[in-house]
Amino acid sequence: MTERITRQDVAHVADLAQLSLTDDELDAFTIQLADILDHAADLDALDLADLQPTAHPLPLVNVFRADVVGPTSDRDEVLAAAPAVEDAQFKVPPVLGEGP
Amino acid sequence: MSARHLAEAVRSGARSARSVLDEHLDAIAAREPEIHAFNVVLADEARVAADEVDRRVAAGEDPGPLAGVPVAVKDNMCTRGIPTTCSSRILEGWIPPYDATVVERLAAAGAVMVGKTNLDEFAMGSSTENSAFGATRNPLDTTKVPGGSSGGSAAAVAAGFVPLSLGSDTGGSIRQPAALCGVVGVKPTYGAVSRYGLVAFASSLDQIGPFARTVSDAALLLEVVNGHDPLDSTSIPETPADLTSVLDRGVEGMRIGIIEELSGDVLEGIAGDVRARLGEAAAALEAAGATVETTSVPSTVYGLSAYYVIAPAEASSNLARYDGVRFGLRVDAPTSGDMHTATRTVGFGDEVKRRIMLGTYALSAGYYDAYYGKSQKVRTLIVDDFARAYGRYDLLLSPTSPTTAFDLGEKTADPMTMYLTDVCTIPSNLAGHPSMSVPFGVGDDGMPVGVQVLAPAMGEPAMFRAAAVLEAAAPPGAAS
């Protein structure tokens, strides 16, 4: 089996996807992802040069509604679902590292 | 009793919605502990809804085509005031502030929602073993899986907990569990049923559809939930065709092709008993006046590979929203970045992490063309191949699942083996076409076999007509 994806690649995508993996998980996911990408290698046999990519099964068009005010979500109800709220805003830990 | 007959009895006043509900709650109480079809049973809310239906009947009103019919909804569809978990820890404690369009339409039709059903986390899986709340078991043999990802919805119907349920199908998640549990399962044309309030997995593939014990009940439920919705920009604007009134029209004169690549020696792993039932199903359609022959749709065999790049790519983007800020789980950490990572690491299960990473990789710089770009071109190839086939045939036929229900734990260690169970169902999702699974006898192990009827976009009427013929001709199903 060719080396489709390395341990370093998996560590990199985990970082991009904001996931933290243990060493054992990194080993297991590397094998499993390589296995899946190996299966996808059957596509290499196809001649796709003249084909356009399909992103969606429907011919998508922009859909507009009439510019009329309708019911909207209740702010307090939406905020009630958040883990932390202050002054009617979502509250998060410091973004740049300095504690409060 | 069928949903149709229950609704007729309730509308005419012959039965009360409350008595219908209590009967089904009794069935749930008796077997739910061993099946685990539900994440939550909403007995109190259902009693209130049933009493309201009875009040309306008593007042001379018509509560609608599903008056008093108990229904179950997959727990990835939003329900106002009722937790919606996607069977994931990351949505722990989240209570949606709105209803999915399908949930509103069920209520408007007089249906009584009795619970939210278990699924593979975020609908990623083929056995319902990836649920953070434990696996669902097949009601026909509790050592077997019910299929997935809508395993809870399939099991709830197969166990007699409800006559109708809704699932979602991204690569086979309605049809495969329907086949494994011996019930009817339909993936409608992409855009036929509103996705508003369906928690997104892979947006260009996801579609909501019905489970039922009969073809006629599946048509009845689809007619209630389909149709244009301004809240879903991919919703088809045209008025949907009538289904229940065409069911008895038969298949006389129809041309039907059996997809050679999904039904014979081309793919490994299509079991002998499944192939035998497919052959008998084809003979039944022929006996009913259709022309049936084997035909080649060559690119369908590449659907699996393309799907396991495209669906994870879309999922990696859709699931970026779970970051502990606006809803669900938060695992505290000193900085926002660390909080996002800690939350996602604790909140997501292994299969979801696997697909997020696979999708992130397929979309990342240097690999985009090799994986995502290539898979999108294969999607074009499949669309073109289907278009050619539907130039010659009204419908296509294949197995739904390569085998009957497998054992719990049998495929969990090897994701690729699990993915292969979707090989026959994936092509319809990639093309946006409707297809459905109809129970057709049993395999050597006595477990149900499903036959898949595929149709071109908007081809539901012909698809349901063929399904009705298969249902009438089917050998005895599995004994429960």
The class that CATH gives domain B3-225 is alpha beta
Q: State the Cα–Cα distance between residues B407 and B5, nearest whole angstrom.
A: 35
- Integer CA distances (angstroms), A15 to A69, B308, B360, B361, B410, in order: 42, 21, 10, 11, 31
- Angle formed at CA A7 by CA A5 and CA A11, multiple of 5 degrees: 105
Q: Give the count of beta carbons closer than 10 Å to the beta carbon of residue A32.
A: 21
pTM of the model: 0.97
What is the pLDDT, as a whole number, of residue B142? 98
* Per-position b or e across B384-393, b if 16+ CB within 10 A of its CB: ebbeebbeeb
- Structural domain boundaries in chain A: 7-44
Reply yes or no on whether B374 is catalytic. no
What is the pLDDT, as a whole number, of residue A99? 53
CB–CB contact B230 A74 (8 Å): no
Encode pLDDT of B129-164 as tens digits: 999 999 999 999 999 999 999 999 999 999 999 999
A20 touches chain B (CB under 8 A): yes
CATH topology of domain B248-305+369-473: Amidase signature (AS) enzymes (3.90.1300)
Indicate if the pLDDT at residue B79 is higher than 60: yes
Indicate if the pLDDT at residue B382 is higher than 80: yes
Indicate if the pLDDT at residue B480 is higher than 80: no
CB–CB contact A35 B338 (8 Å): no
User: Once rounded to an integer, what is the mean pLDDT over residues B343-363?
Assistant: 97
| Cis peptide upstream of residue B149 (ω within 30 degrees of 0) | yes
User: What is the pLDDT confidence band of residue A59, given thresholds at 50, 70 and 90?
Assistant: confident
What amino acid occupies position B234? T
Encode pLDDT of B34-51 as tens digits: 999 999 999 999 999 999
Beta-carbon contacts of residue B37 (< 8 Å; ≥ 6 apart): B72, B115, B117, B118, B136, B139, B146, B151, B152, B153, B155, B156, B159, B161
Task: Extract the tokens encoding B338.
Answer: 């660390």
Contact call for residues B182 and B139 (beta carbons, < 8 A): no
Contact call for residues B437 and B464 (beta carbons, < 8 A): no
Indicate if the pLDDT at residue A98 is higher than 70: no
Going B169 to B175 to B180 to B183, the CA torsion angle's sign is positive
Provide the H-helix boundaries in B183-232: 215-225
Phi-psi region of B81 (alpha: psi -120 to 50; beta: other; left: phi over 0): left
Mean pLDDT of chain B, nearest integer: 97
Indicate if the pLDDT at residue A100 is higher than 80: no
DSSP B98-122: S--HHHHHHHHTT-EEEEEE--SGG
Encode pLDDT of B181-197 as tens digits: 999 999 999 999 999 99
Selecting from A36, A54, A90 the residue whose C-beta is nearest the C-beta of B376 gives A54
Beta-carbon contacts of residue B53 (< 8 Å; ≥ 6 apart): B10, B17, B63, B67, B68, B110, B112
User: Once rounded to an integer, what is the mean pLDDT over residues B124-129?
Assistant: 98
Q: State the Cα–Cα distance between residues B167 and B171, nearest whole angstrom.
A: 12
- Give chain A positions within 8 Å (CB) of B351: none
Contact call for residues B130 and B124 (beta carbons, < 8 A): yes
What CATH code is assigned to A7-44? 1.10.20
Indicate if the pLDDT at residue A60 is higher than 80: no
What is the pLDDT, as a whole number, of residue B78? 98
Q: Of B16, B87, B88, B149, which is the active-site residue?
A: B149
Going B175 to B179 to B185 to B188, the CA torsion angle's sign is positive
Locate the chain A residue with the closest alpha carbon to B98: A73
User: Once rounded to an integer, what is the mean pLDDT over residues B85-110?
Assistant: 96
Q: State the Cα–Cα distance between residues A59 and B12, nearest whole angstrom.
A: 44
Q: Chain A: give the shortest CA distance to residue B205, in Å.
A: 8
User: Once rounded to an integer, what is the mean pLDDT over residues B432-457?
Assistant: 98
User: Once rounded to an integer, what is the mean pLDDT over residues B94-100?
Assistant: 95
Encode pLDDT of B54-74 as tens digits: 999 999 999 999 999 999 999
User: Once rounded to an integer, what is the mean pLDDT over residues B388-413?
Assistant: 97
A88 touches chain B (CB under 8 A): no
The closest of B243, B204, B200 to B221, measured between CA atoms, is B243
What is the pLDDT, as a whole number, of residue A62? 84
CB–CB contact A57 B430 (8 Å): yes
Indicate if the pLDDT at residue A1 is higher than 80: no
Backbone φ and ψ of B29, nearest 5° = -60, -35
- Give chain B positions within 8 Å (CB) of A67: none
Backbone φ and ψ of B426, nearest 5° = -60, -40
* Rounded percentage of chain B residues whose pLDDT exceeds 90: 96
ipTM reported for the complex surpasses 0.90 = yes
Half-sphere exposure of B412 (CA within 13 A, CB side): 15
Selecting from B327, B379, B431 the residue whose C-beta is nearest the C-beta of A81 gives B327
